[in-house]
Structure 1
């Protein structure tokens, strides 16, 4: 373990990864300062209030609870102490284009009870219950292997991955890497509705069922077995908890602090390595300041840090690298305050178009899909604090191409026309499919957020809502690394780097920085507590 005493760390970005990095490194003895360009911390996990409604503006699924539990235990606390978690039942509801009709039910509920889900699959397709049992068994095995051997590693010692447990499972693991999730599901289930339920988790990984490796069927070990929870008060309570743990251990958090460049000594030319010496940042008044640090952790968008904050000769991932990579989807977010109740919608709902090949081809081909699949969160189903009594809070996410040119959103329909048109179509679709014909007329608060906002406010590469998608060449050891190859003392955390997209992955990415600094090349989680 390297000595942390007296060593200073500057963290670029106050999202979940930056705050988690600050908490872990502060607890390990480093002097940490976080620089966040926005007025508040949280990054993609933001919050907005209007008219008595409070909206989470980013993540809304609490999955992989073991990762959160481990992170909090590292810091001597627990998820139970920090968060008021509620299990959702149903976990989510799926609405299908064209239902009801031809004997099709209006929707499918995925419940917190596995046996109920098996019965629901069997009712739709004879034999699907037993096939789902086998599917969930292999997904649980893949999830356990990933947690134990592939998520908590920096891949600095490849031979460390060749544990007996991994070698024994290679005959099962290798086909999962070379087969798409869509193909894997399609060989086991015929009904399009069941295929969509099992394939859609690829979207939350910034990909699509035909682009994501079937290894990611491990996600079904979470949402189909009672693993969907919600932190009462919204995901801002998670951000507040992690920020509080960071400051409680001595970290300083600066907001309205935009990092405009990293400072280094030495040169990256001719194979020589430079060393980071700190950064320059601009305050809310436009004044630029210098900050010296022994180490820097870039916990925001990796493309922005590498191509905008470093000179060309010190970039590990220059623009030519990104030109060969693929972003996850962009999105139009629609925040709606609705008068009256919406019993037709549970906490989470998915609206699937029948021809979702066309939907995904449009998204990843740079076209706005019509019609579009959508995700709807109604946190007021669980949390009375997010809406006035008797009213509802809706968060609508419509996957779109990652293209800032689609425009920016706005309040009360004042966003760019293409963004507002997507929002109008989504509201109409939800009203029609869920049986709420007067939905549009009951909206009293409305705000839209588009790919242009992700690019401008979060410095997101290509305006993506998540980060680089989890295709095979952008997963595990093939994903962007988390340590500069040209600048000593420069590390990375967040969804752009290993292990990937999502709140749990960002927490792990913070721990991977800690493991680098400790010289820990193990493939499993750090022993608790620190």
Structure 2
């Protein structure tokens, strides 16, 4: 029996939110704004989860998400809290949106901020008409997904049985059953374009051969919408989310580890929390767990309250792992854009190494480099800040990272190989010698620090059986009043998805089964600057 959540008003109910990552902060803000008494418990001593920061010797690194995509999702979230993205963040449009290096070719491809569509079509003029149809389809599919799927709890399928969805059902079924790489190959004959269209599958936690072609909608985000960057990095986004949650009335507690979800007569009635060596019981009417679902089910719930069997977990695809490198570099690196992608010739072999039967770290890898110092003040004068992501299998035996080369052997070797690859492909032969700050992060770190299932870096892969309603309910099937949010539940991976998952937690608690975004409250006009100054001076 699916207990789900207690339906009705949220106002006045005591809510315990487990986890202070982006989804936890967003959930705390929305539920507190709704009138709930919200307390958030974060086990670590800082908020943000995977969206963390690290500072050393004048360098400031984001340790996780680095792409600001789907700006309308952020805007809707902020408007739900009575504000706007412009009021809360200093957003910059990147130009180029990103740069791509292809192995064996000296000249990179830049996707410009304006004219991106024409630039992409220019890579394969012979297929321009088919490519244009691909991008048009991406825009149409993205609109359909936003209106009818991304914001649905799937508690009822009736709202989706509308004319637009029913009319498009044959096309949707084709998009769900044909893999992304095959769909892209039908629209271009150029291997470079095929890789550009296929690489977003990595950000979905899977390969182009396993992602349903429904996800070609991702090309609408970078090619049509463009790529933004919040000044101050994603640490600034975390600070904003925490400020908004507190302003709404939520209590955010760090260094508070939830050890257990307390269940009484089939309902969540509180949590057991450890802080400063003492464990205490805290009563709650609702528990929202934004922890990795595997942690929630296998560690926080007693066996009789778990919804998923050991067999279910064995069949779960955790998505890829990652080895990360945070590098402070002496001198400039103009060959790298803010976002750069390095695509290896053995494209399919690289994905097979990560996701296939005999998993290994690909070399050379198709990797990602972020150079936020191209846009922001995140490095000392005359230095650069690099964040390097090398996709690897979700395998904790690859090891953990460390500072100054002190990580496990395979992690450090993987980073050495990546530095050499970047140096060769971008014409920067002395790159390794110019690294003055180095920290590495491996799959074992993801498991230890975030409870990531099998050391996965992003969350469960968006394969067909792990997408949309097949990804699983955001409410416990066995415990009333236990709701989930975050990358391991619906709608999925990425910061925009985490914001939506918070809204889905609110919907679940309201008993709202609508398929689209919630109506935004009427926004009160902001006071004039002199009025805001006067307000700030009131003791």
TM-score, with length taken from structure 1: 0.95
How many angstroms does 1:219 deviate by? 0.5
Match of 1:367 in 2: 360
One of 508, 511, 525 as aligned partner of 1:519:
511
Map residues 281-430 of structure 1 onto 2, 5 A cutoff: 281-283=273-275, 285-365=276-356, 366-384=359-377, 386-430=378-422
2-side partners of 1:125 and 1:230: how far apart? 29
* Contact 2:120–2:193, Cα closer than 8 Å, also in 1: no
Query: Aligned partners of 1:126, 1:382: CA distance in 2, in Å?
Result: 32
Deviation at 1:6, TM superposition (A): 2.7
**Corresponding residue number in structure 1 for 2:146:** 147
Q: Name the residue aligned to 1:108.
A: 109
Residue 4 of structure 2 corresponds to none
Does the 8 Å contact 2:111/2:119 carry over to 1? no
Structure 2 CA distance, aligned partners of 1:297 and 1:508? 14
- Distance of aligned partners of 1:244 and 1:313 in 2 relative to their CA distance in 1, 3 Å threshold: same
Taking a change above 3 Å as real, the CA distance of residues 179 and 299 of structure 1, as seen in their structure-2 partners, is same
Q: How far apart, CA to CA, are the structure 2 residues paired with 1:465 and 1:111?
A: 29
**SS class of match (1:408):** coil
Q: CA deviation at 1:157?
A: 1.1
Written as runs of structure 1 = structure 2, the 5 A alignment for 1:58-137 is: 58-100=64-106, 106-113=107-114, 115-122=115-122, 124-137=123-136
Match of 1:270 in 2: none
* Aligned-residue offset at 1:311: 1.2
* Structure 2 contact 10–510 (Cα < 8 Å) conserved: no
Alignment-derived partner of residue 258 in structure 1: 257
- Contact 1:412-1:447 at 8 Å conserved across structures: yes
Shift of 1:393: 0.3
Moved more, 311-320 or 75-84: 311-320
1:431 aligns with 2:423: yes
Give the distance between the partners of 2:144 and 2:11, measured in 1 at CA: 35
Cα distance in 2 for partners of 1:131, 1:278 equals 55
What is the rounded CA distance, in whole Å, between the counterparts of 1:117 and 1:71 in structure 2? 28
Q: CA deviation at 1:287?
A: 1.6
SS at match of 1:235: helix
Is residue 13–residue 285 contact of structure 2 (8 Å, CA) maintained in 1?
yes
Distance, in Å, in 1 between the alignment partners of 2:229 and 2:119 is 25
Question: Which residue in the other structure is 2:448 paired with?
Answer: 456
Displacement after TM superposition at 1:144 (Å): 0.2
Gaps of 5+ in 2: 1-6, 523-539
In 1, Cα distance between equivalents of 2:299 and 2:309? 10
CA–CA distance in structure 1, aligned partners of residues 22 and 171 of structure 2: 34
Aligned to 2:528: none
Aligned counterparts, 1:52-63, within 5 A: 52-63=58-69
Aligned pairs for 1:24-43 within 5 A: 24-43=30-49
Q: What is the number of equivalent residue pairs in this alignment?
A: 514
CA distance in 2 between partners of 1:259 and 1:157 (Å)? 31
Q: Could you tell me which residue of structure 2 aligns to residue 271 of structure 1? A: none
- Equivalent pair of 2:261/2:268 in contact (CA under 8 Å): yes
Mapped partners of 1:126, 1:23: distance in 2: 48
Is the Cα–Cα contact under 8 Å of residues 206 and 329 in structure 1 kept in the other structure?
yes
SS in 1 for 2:125: coil
Distance, in Å, in 1 between the alignment partners of 2:305 and 2:225 is 46
**1:118 to partner: Cα distance:** 2.0
The reply on whether 1:488 has 2:480 as its aligned counterpart is yes
How far 1:305 sits from its partner (Å)?
0.7
Query: Take 1:119 and 1:63, find their aligned partners in 2: how far apart are those partners?
Result: 20
Q: Give me the whole-angstrom Cα distance separating, in 1, the residues matched to 2:211 and 2:116.
A: 28
Q: Does structure 1 residue 475 correspond to structure 2 residue 464?
A: no
Q: Aligned equivalents of 1:315 and 1:116: distance in 2?
A: 48
Counterparts of 1:3-42 in structure 2, within 5 Å, are 3-42=9-48
**Whole-angstrom CA distance in 2 between matches of 1:30 and 1:240:** 22
CA shift, 1:120, in A, is 4.6
* Cα distance in structure 2, aligned partners of 1:140 and 1:207: 21
Say whether the 8 Å CA contact 1:119–1:129 is kept in structure 2: no
The CA deviation at 1:449 is 0.3
2:405–2:439 Cα contact (<8 Å) kept: yes
Structure 1 gaps of 5+ residues are 101-105, 267-273
Distance of 2:462 and 2:288 partners within structure 1: 23
Shift of 1:163: 0.9
Native 8 Å contact 1:64 1:227 kept in 2: no
Contact 2:18 2:287 in 1 (8 A): yes
What is the aligned partner in structure 1 of residue 529 from structure 2? Answer: none
Alignment check: 8 A CA contact 1:111 1:226 kept: no
Distance in 2 (alpha carbons) for counterparts of 1:117 and 1:436: 30
Which whole-Å CA distance do the structure 1 matches of 2:510 and 2:117 have between them? 44
SS at match of 1:166: helix
- Residue in 2 that maps onto 1:280: 272
